[in-house]
């Protein structure tokens, strides 16, 4: 009988303490005592310097450090910070690299405070009732159950008071979640492949370095269909170029039909392709050109490679106005007479 009574006491104690433990776990996970929360994700090329600067900032200015995970490629830290020091954190991360995320959320915790005060009052009343019953019990009566019940109420009351104190102490603080990534070795948002469907048109002007009299024109111009399929950006273009000056001589190149695959790459220190205007980039195009000649019975296919620089004049979620200059190099024994400077301007739109 005594063993059964002891087991019932332990079970009752666990039932009384489980709600408080569950509440504690939820509180630690959700940080409900902070009305202001900030999330920052930062990608950098100089990871060691950024890592040291952020660690120094957290050590000197954070009011409390909740979590910090470090590796050679990333730093994850959760800490609290005074609201007055949030602009200092924003200024620091802006100088270190590319800010992929910077969100500030503010929540009204008035109702949460009222709930805690009501819960505190309820626990006080329950504890007072349990203690009064404990005092009335005689020495010959088993009071273990009452003592266990009173301890449970006392523990939950202490937890409610702690939550209320945290809520009041954190009114002038923010809970910050910081993620720092090494852009070179870690697949951040700047390196993920993002597919799009952006058809468009392109104008091209090719000026040859060594035009052959009666064989090639000094310059060719034409139009192409340019299809962008990643924001990276990768694309295909197909176009026809015609000579500015024509000749009736046999063997004269009177049409260039170009088929190219191309990719553009944004620099890490000049907007990284995220600005609305004037995004600088380098590019390459590889493919081939079908050369049609006056009087010839067949066409000649010549592989080509272009390397160049470009500027996105206007870039939004729906349209792209782009210009570039590249050096057109046929990979053929006719390279000398067909190579030259190629200028292109294109307009693409989300379809």
Same domain membership, residue 214 and residue 126 = no
Q: What's residue 111's pLDDT?
A: 66
Number of CB atoms found within 10 A of residue 200's CB: 20
Residue span of the structural domain in which 295 resides:
195-349
Q: What's residue 194's pLDDT?
A: 65
Same domain membership, residue 341 and residue 199 = yes
- 346 pLDDT higher than 90: yes
Query: Could you tell me what percentage of the chain is helix, strand and coil, using 3-state DSSP and rounding each to the nearest 5?
Result: 35, 40, 25
- 303 pLDDT higher than 90: yes
**pLDDT over 90, % of the chain:** 43
Same domain membership, residue 172 and residue 203 = no
Question: How many whole angstroms separate alpha carbon 351 and alpha carbon 346?
Answer: 16
Element (H, E) at 19: helix 2-30
Same domain membership, residue 134 and residue 211 = no
- Name the domain boundary from 190, 215, 250: 190
- Name the domain boundary from 138, 172, 190: 190
Q: What's residue 114's pLDDT?
A: 65
Per-residue confidence band for 14, with pLDDT thresholds at 50, 70 and 90: very low
- 141 pLDDT higher than 60: no
Same domain membership, residue 238 and residue 327 = yes
- 25 pLDDT higher than 50: no
Same domain membership, residue 235 and residue 102 = no
Choice among 12-16, 260-264, 337-341 with the minimum mean pLDDT: 12-16
Same domain membership, residue 238 and residue 106 = no
Same domain membership, residue 161 and residue 29 = yes
- 125 pLDDT higher than 80: no
Question: How many whole angstroms separate alpha carbon 2 and alpha carbon 144?
Answer: 12
Same domain membership, residue 341 and residue 316 = yes
**101: helix, strand or coil:** strand
Q: For residues 37-64, give the mean pLDDT.
A: 91
Q: Residues 13, 70: contact at Cβ < 8 Å?
A: no
Angle CA 157–159–165, to nearest 5: 105
Same domain membership, residue 229 and residue 170 = no
Query: Which pTM does this prediction carry?
Result: 0.56
Contacts of 122 (CB under 8 A, 6+ apart): none
| DSSP code per residue over 275-337 | SSEEEEEEEEEEEEEEEEETT-SS-EEEEEEEEEEEEEEEE-SSEEEEEEEEEEEESSTTHHH
Q: How many domains does the chain have?
A: 2
- Name the domain boundary from 137, 168, 190: 190
Exposed, middle or buried by CB within 10 Å (0-12, 13-18, 19+), for 29? Answer: exposed
Per-residue confidence band for 35, with pLDDT thresholds at 50, 70 and 90: confident
Choice among 13-22, 119-128, 315-324 with the minimum mean pLDDT: 13-22
End-to-end CA separation in angstroms for the chain: 79
């Amino acid at each position: 009988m005594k063993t059964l009574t002891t087991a019932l006491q332990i079970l009752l104690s666990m039932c009384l303490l489980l709600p408080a433990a569950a509440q504690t776990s939820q509180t630690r996970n959700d940080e409900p005592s902070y009305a202001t929360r900030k999330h920052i994700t930062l990608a950098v090329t100089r990871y060691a310097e950024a890592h040291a600067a952020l660690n120094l900032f957290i050590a000197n200015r954070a009011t409390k450090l909740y979590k910090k995970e470090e590796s050679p490629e990333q730093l994850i830290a959760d800490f609290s910070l005074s609201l007055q020091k949030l602009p200092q954190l924003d200024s620091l991360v802006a100088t270190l690299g590319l800010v992929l995320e910077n969100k500030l959320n503010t929540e009204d915790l008035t109702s949460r405070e009222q709930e805690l005060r009501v819960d505190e009052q309820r626990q006080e009343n329950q504890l007072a009732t349990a203690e009064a019953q404990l005092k009335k019990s005689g020495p010959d009566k088993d009071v273990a159950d009452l003592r266990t019940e009173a301890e449970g109420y006392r523990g939950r009351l202490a937890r409610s008071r702690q939550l209320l104190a945290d809520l009041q102490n954190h009114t002038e603080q923010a809970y910050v979640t910081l993620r720092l990534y090494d852009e070179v070795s870690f697949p951040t948002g700047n390196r993920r492949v993002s597919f799009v469907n952006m058809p468009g048109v392109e104008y091209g002007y090719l000026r040859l370095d060594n035009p052959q009299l009666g064989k090639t024109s000094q310059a060719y111009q034409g139009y192409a269909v340019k299809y962008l399929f990643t924001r990276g950006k990768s694309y295909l273009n197909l176009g026809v170029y015609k000579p500015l000056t024509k000749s009736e001589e046999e063997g004269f190149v009177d049409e260039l039909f170009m088929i190219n695959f191309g990719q553009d790459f944004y620099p890490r220190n000049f907007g990284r392709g995220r600005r609305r205007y004037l995004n600088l980039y380098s590019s390459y195009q590889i493919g081939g050109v079908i050369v049609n000649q006056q009087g010839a019975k067949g066409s000649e296919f010549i592989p080509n490679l272009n390397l160049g620089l470009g500027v996105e004049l206007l870039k939004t979620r729906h349209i792209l106005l782009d210009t570039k200059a590249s050096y057109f190099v046929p990979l053929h024994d006719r390279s000398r007479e067909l190579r030259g400077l190629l200028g292109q301007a294109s307009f693409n739109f989300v379809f």
